[in-house]
Amino acid sequence: MSVRGVAKHYETRGASGKAQVQAVRNVEFDVFPGDNFGIVGESGCGKSSLMRLLTGLERPDAGTIFFEDENIGQASPKRLRALRRRFQLVLQDPYGSLPPQSPIGAIIEEPLKIHGLGNRAERRDRARAAMSEVGLNVASYDSLPTGLSAGQRQRLNVARAMVLEPRLLIMDETLSALDQTEQGKMLNLFERLQAQHGFTYIFISHDLTMVRQVCSRIAVMYLGETVEVAPNERLFFDPGHPYTRALLSAAPTLEKRRYLPEECLLEGEPPSPIDLPPGCAFAGRCPHAFDRCLSETPRLQTRNAQALAACHLIDGGVAQ
Ligand code: SF4
Ligand code: MG
């Protein structure tokens, strides 16, 4: 998947009438086949709005989202339906996302039905195979999901997504509602499924510890923008954006070494995404802000091998 210059705004009511909320802007990254790509940021930074664009649930105002040579942002509804076979979404809420009146097997078979795949017996076989792959008891095929734990429900959601044999699975806070033990088991499951099926994953999460554990490359979002995109090790131990440094400095770590040698605490609140001022959106909180930051929006630029950050300090911080 290749994302370039993606932006999306929503209309809202402000104090003085109609206003625009800039939910997503200047979003850029590439996800390579077989990657575990992470999109991380605090709640409200536009991650879920971005998820809706990546999956074609909404269309961007600007920019392109290429997936296997098709621009998801401009695909016709018919093409989108066909494309969805190849990328699937697993959401956060293990309770809200399952129809309580449908038996487990029928829930997993449904995407096959929607896409007109297989006859009844074949669909049943594929659903049962998916159940056993995610560690659900195949004997519960005809049971309702009501008795399932949160972890089992997320396994069911994963089975429902992978029954179509997609190439890309987008996980939006998929593990957030689970306890640590269950999260660990799910991460092992994802790893196994990836080894068997060659899936590509995008993990959308607010949880730095989680993305540190599973993602090979990571994009950091702040106020709707991708402010840094870098390989895991580089992002955590040599971040290029002052916001990433602040995030890491506040993050708990189970590792022997700290992510950053010095404290870098964030002051203030992010500005409102309504009618954003010009320049860098982080300028009001950034300890390094200088004149240029207030007038010119920094774009993602190459820092070093495979690492990008959107900060004027990268080209020396001089006025241009
Ligand atoms: Fe800070 Fe300026 Fe870099 Fe923005 S562009 S993060 S304000 S130094
Ligand atoms: Mg969200």
Domain boundary among 135, 165, 195: 165
Q: Supply the pLDDT for residue 320.
A: 42
Q: 173 and 246 in one domain?
A: yes
Residue with tokens 């390989």: 231
Q: 22 and 81 in one domain?
A: yes
For 1, 141, 154, the CA distances from 102, given in Å and listed in that order, are 33, 11, 16
- Is residue 311, in this structure, part of any structural domain at all? no
Mutation choice for ligand 1 from 282, 294, 314, CB with most ligand atoms inside 8 A: 282
Domain boundary among 145, 165, 185: 165
Q: 118 and 262 in one domain?
A: no
List the domain range (segments joined by +) for residue 147. Answer: 97-165
Q: 106 and 11 in one domain?
A: no
Higher pLDDT, 213 or 262: 213
Q: Supply the pLDDT for residue 18.
A: 85
Higher pLDDT, 159 or 92: 159
For the CA of 288, the nearest atom of ligand 1: 8
Mutation choice for ligand 1 from 241, 276, 291, 313, CB with most ligand atoms inside 8 A: 313
Higher pLDDT, 260 or 216: 216
Q: Supply the pLDDT for residue 189.
A: 96
Sequence-ordered list of residues with C-beta below 8 angstroms from that of 11, at least 6 positions apart, any chain: 18, 19, 20, 21
- Is residue 208, in this structure, part of any structural domain at all? yes
Mean pLDDT, all residues of the chain: 90
**Is any atom of ligand 1 closer than 6 Å to the C-beta of 53?**
no
Q: 200 and 111 in one domain?
A: no
Give 161-199 pLDDT, tens digit per residue.
999 999 999 999 888 888 989 999 999 999 999 999 999
Q: Supply the pLDDT for residue 254.
A: 62
- Is residue 24, in this structure, part of any structural domain at all? yes
- Is residue 215, in this structure, part of any structural domain at all? yes
Domain boundary among 273, 290, 307: 273
**Is any atom of ligand 1 closer than 6 Å to the C-beta of 280?**
yes
Determine the distance from the C-alpha atom of residue 20 to the mean position of all C-alpha atoms in its chain, rounded to a whole number. Answer: 24
Q: Supply the pLDDT for residue 157.
A: 93
For the CA of 293, the nearest atom of ligand 1: 2
Q: Supply the pLDDT for residue 318.
A: 52
Q: Which long-range contacts (CB under 8 A, 24 or more apart) does 236-245 make?
A: 236/212, 238/307, 239/309, 240/303, 240/307, 240/308, 240/309, 240/311, 240/314, 241/282, 241/309, 241/310, 241/311, 242/282, 242/286, 242/287, 242/288, 242/311, 242/313, 243/282, 243/285, 243/286, 244/220, 244/309
Higher pLDDT, 318 or 64: 64
Give 12-22 pLDDT, tens digit per residue.
887 778 888 89
Q: 230 and 192 in one domain?
A: yes
Q: 172 and 154 in one domain?
A: no
- Is residue 313, in this structure, part of any structural domain at all? no
Q: 226 and 130 in one domain?
A: no
- Is residue 189, in this structure, part of any structural domain at all? yes
For the CA of 280, the nearest atom of ligand 1: 4
Q: Supply the pLDDT for residue 242.
A: 93
Q: 174 and 27 in one domain?
A: yes
Q: 123 and 27 in one domain?
A: no
Q: Supply the pLDDT for residue 94.
A: 67
**Is any atom of ligand 1 closer than 6 Å to the C-beta of 288?**
yes
Q: Supply the pLDDT for residue 147.
A: 86
Q: Give the pTM.
A: 0.93
- Name the residue at shortest CA distance from atom 5 of ligand 1: 311
Q: 44 and 18 in one domain?
A: yes
Judge whether residue 92 has pLDDT over 90: no
- CATH number reported for the structural domain that contains residue 180 in this entry: 3.40.50.300
Most confident of 44-48, 122-126, 312-316: 122-126
**Is any atom of ligand 1 closer than 6 Å to the C-beta of 282?**
yes
- Is residue 217, in this structure, part of any structural domain at all? yes
Give 235-289 pLDDT, tens digit per residue.
999 999 999 999 888 777 666 666 776 667 777 777 788 878 789 999 999 989 9
Q: 37 and 172 in one domain?
A: yes
Judge whether residue 319 has pLDDT over 60: no
| Beta-strand pair 2-14/17-30 | antiparallel
Structural domain tally of the chain? Answer: 2
- Is residue 158, in this structure, part of any structural domain at all? yes
